[in-house]
């Protein structure tokens, strides 16, 4: 059996945190889409704690499709239930699976036809589904009649920046610890480069280089500048400082790395109007700004056809017209 975890409406950083927690319990993980995890059952006690902490909807079943359907139908987030199949699950859950492209109206249509459970829907052949759902029938049929037996792959963690510093002896002096943390932050910022981090974790190391205590923070906005990183690292270090806690080393981890989103620049400025251009030139060239005023367009005498006059400010022209 395998386990399916669903975490709805979570940010990428929160989902990455969940993924790290699951990876600490089992190395067998598959993430087909964001918000959904299939994993092994190596440490069920740890997985139960992860599901409770994050409030995931979760279910176990022999096949991925059955585990997914059971997790979608779960009404008790934070717990894990095991099932042999999903035949008695309502077809209404199909609208919760984005890759199927089905809506609540489609699920209602199935119910009106008497196909109100997954077991009854599985009695239909693919050609029957095509009559109702067209191109969407192929994905639905594959979900209902899953034949995939590929085992879960070994999970490869996403890139992260880890910097450690060690002390020659046990230390609890805040000044020395903060100075070392600042050096770690500077080294981490160089490794980070132009990427942004959305999670920062500071850990206390013992003499055996094991992490004995950690503090982490999920950022509302990605950070890449040294001064921004140091603000968060300093705050986390102060949370870990304690009169009875000795430090033999410090570990700084930057996770949930993303490339900064590019911004489109205006290559050409917006075109300004004639009036705006004249007002910009008037302070310096106001005395020589002239325009041609047509007096009589039909005359053959040049002196009577037009004349050159100064360009008056827009407000003065309106005042003259009103007068």
What topology is assigned to 161-259 in CATH?
Dna Ligase; domain 1 (3.30.1490)
The pLDDT score that the predictor gives to residue 8 is 87
Query: Which residue spans of the chain are classified as CATH 3.30.1490.100?
Result: 161-259
The pLDDT score that the predictor gives to residue 322 is 47
Q: Pairing mode, if any, of strands 247-259 and 195-205?
A: antiparallel
Contact criterion met (CB below 8 Å) for 137 and 129: yes
Nearby residues of 298 by Cβ (< 8 Å), 6 or more positions away: none
The pLDDT score that the predictor gives to residue 307 is 86
The pLDDT score that the predictor gives to residue 27 is 94
Tell which residue, 130, 158, 161, 125, has the closest CA to residue 144. 125
Is the dihedral angle over the CA atoms 60, 61, 67, 70 positive or is it negative?
negative
Per-residue pLDDT of the chain (323 residues; tens, 9 = 90+): 899 999 988 888 999 999 999 999 999 999 999 999 999 999 999 999 999 999 999 999 999 999 999 999 988 889 999 999 999 999 999 989 988 888 888 888 888 888 889 999 999 888 888 888 888 888 888 888 887 678 899 999 889 999 999 999 999 899 999 999 999 999 999 999 999 999 999 999 999 999 999 999 999 999 999 999 999 999 999 999 987 889 999 999 999 999 877 655 666 666 778 788 888 888 888 778 888 888 888 888 888 888 888 887 765 554 444 44
The pLDDT score that the predictor gives to residue 71 is 93
The pLDDT score that the predictor gives to residue 267 is 61
Both structure tokens of 87: 């035949």
Angle among Cα 300, 302, 304 to the nearest 5 degrees reads 85
């Amino acid at each position: 059996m395998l386990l399916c975890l669903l975490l709805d409406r979570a940010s990428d950083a929160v989902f990455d945190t969940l993924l790290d927690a699951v990876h600490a319990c089992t190395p067998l993980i598959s993430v087909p889409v964001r918000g959904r995890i299939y994993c092994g059952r190596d440490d069920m006690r740890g997985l139960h704690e992860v599901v409770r902490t994050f409030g995931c909807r979760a279910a176990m079943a022999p096949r991925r499709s059955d585990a997914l359907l059971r997790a979608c139908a779960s009404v008790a987030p934070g717990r894990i239930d095991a099932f042999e199949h999903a035949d008695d699950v309502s077809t209404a859950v199909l609208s919760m699976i984005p890759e199927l492209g089905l809506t609540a109206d489609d699920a209602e249509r199935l119910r009106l036809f008497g196909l109100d459970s997954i077991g009854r829907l599985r009695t239909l052949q693919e050609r029957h589904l095509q009559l109702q759902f067209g191109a969407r029938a192929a994905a639905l049929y594959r979900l209902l009649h899953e034949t995939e037996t590929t085992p879960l792959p070994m999970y490869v963690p996403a890139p992260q920046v880890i910097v450690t510093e060690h002390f020659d002896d046990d230390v609890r002096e805040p000044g020395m610890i903060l100075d070392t943390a600042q050096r770690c932050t500077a080294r981490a910022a160089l490794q980070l480069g132009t990427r942004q981090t959305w999670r920062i974790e500071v850990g206390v190391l013992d003499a055996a280089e094991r992490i004995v205590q950690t503090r982490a923070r999920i950022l509302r906005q990605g950070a890449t500048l040294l001064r921004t990183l140091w603000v968060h690292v300093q705050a986390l270090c102060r949370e870990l400082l304690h009169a009875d806690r000795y430090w033999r080393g410090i570990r700084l981890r930057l996770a949930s790395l993303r490339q900064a989103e590019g911004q489109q620049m205006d290559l050409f400025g917006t075109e300004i109007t004639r009036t705006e251009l004249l007002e910009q030139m008037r302070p310096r060239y106001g005395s020589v700004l002239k325009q041609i005023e047509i007096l009589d367009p039909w005359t053959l005498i040049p002196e009577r056809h037009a004349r050159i006059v100064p360009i008056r400010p827009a407000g003065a022209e309106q005042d003259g017209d009103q007068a």
